[in-house]
A and B are shown apart, each in its own frame.
Chain A
C-alpha cells in the first residue's frame, strides 16, 4: 500500500518505485521466515527511501508515511516474537496493537510538527547543516544513553 502511494505519483520512476516496493516486500518476507528483525528493518528503510521518487506532496505525506512505516516495522517484529508460542491470550494482541497505534499517532503528530518546522526553515547553509547534524547526534545519543541506563 505504501508502495502504491509512491508509485501513484512517481512519473517516469514508476518502475523503480514498484521495484523498491517489491524488494521491501521480499525483505519483510525474509525477515519473517528467518525470525530476524534485521531484514524487516532493512525493508522498512527501502520503503522510506522510495518516498523520494514521489513528485509532489512529499512533505505533506511524510508524517503519515512515517507512521505507516513504524506500524509495518513493529507488526513485523511482533509476528516474529509470537512465533513458537503455544497459547496467546487475545487480550495481549489487542492491548499491544492499541498502544502501538497510540504511540504511532503521537509520532505522526511529532512528524507533522517537524514538517511544519522544516517548511519555515531557512534555506540550506553550512550553519543549518551543522545545526541539523548536532540535533541528530544529540537525539540519538540521548536515546542511546537512556537505553544503556535501563
Chain B
C-alpha cells in the first residue's frame, strides 16, 4: 500500500510538473530575413507557345487553328525578305524551298483537317521545320 501510494504521489507530481512546464509560454524571437528575390517573370507569349506545342503534338485541330497561322506569318516574312511571296508560290517551288512537311502546313488553301482529333505534329518534325525557317 505504501509503495502504491508512493508511486501514485510520484506520478501525480510528475504530471503536475509537466503541466507547469507546458504552461510556460515559449515564442522564439523573430529574426529579420532578407526579402526574397522577386519571382521570375516569364513572358506570356512564350508560355502560350509552350502550351500550344504540347497540344499541337496530339491534335490536328490545334495545328491548323493555332500553330499554322504563326508558321505562315514567319514563313511569309522570311520569304518576303528574299523577294518571294508565299501566297503565290507554286507547289513545286514551295516544297523545294520549305520542305514537304513545312509546305504541307503553310501552303495557301490548306483545307481544314477532316479528322479534328487526328495526330498533330511530332516534336522532331517541328524541329526540322523550325530549322528550315531559321535558315531562310
Contacts and interface: CB of A to CB of B under 8 A. Distances in A.
Do A and B touch, yes or no (CB under 8 Å, in the complex)?
A: yes
Interface of A: 84, 126, 129-130, 132-134, 136-137, 140-141, 143-145, 147-148
Main secondary structure of the interface of A (DSSP, over half): helix
A136 B24 contact: no
- Specify which of A126, A133, A136 lies most central, judged by the most chain B CB atoms within 10 Å of its CB: A133
A126 B17 contact: no
A133 B9 contact: yes
Interface of B: 2, 5-6, 9-10, 12-13, 16-17, 20-21, 23-25, 31
Contacts of A84: 31
A143 B23 CA distance: 10
A131 to B, nearest CB: 10
A132 B17 CA distance: 12
B contact face: mostly helix, strand, loop, or mixed: helix
Contacts, number: 40
Contact of B9 (A130, A145, A147, A148): A130
A141 B20 contact: yes
B23 A144 contact: yes
A140 B20 contact: yes
Contacts of B25: 147-148
A126 B20 contact: no
B20 A143 contact: yes
A129 B13 CA distance: 10
Contacts of B21: 140, 144
A145 B21 CA distance: 10
Contact of B16 (A132, A137, A143, A145): A137
A111 B10 CA distance: 22
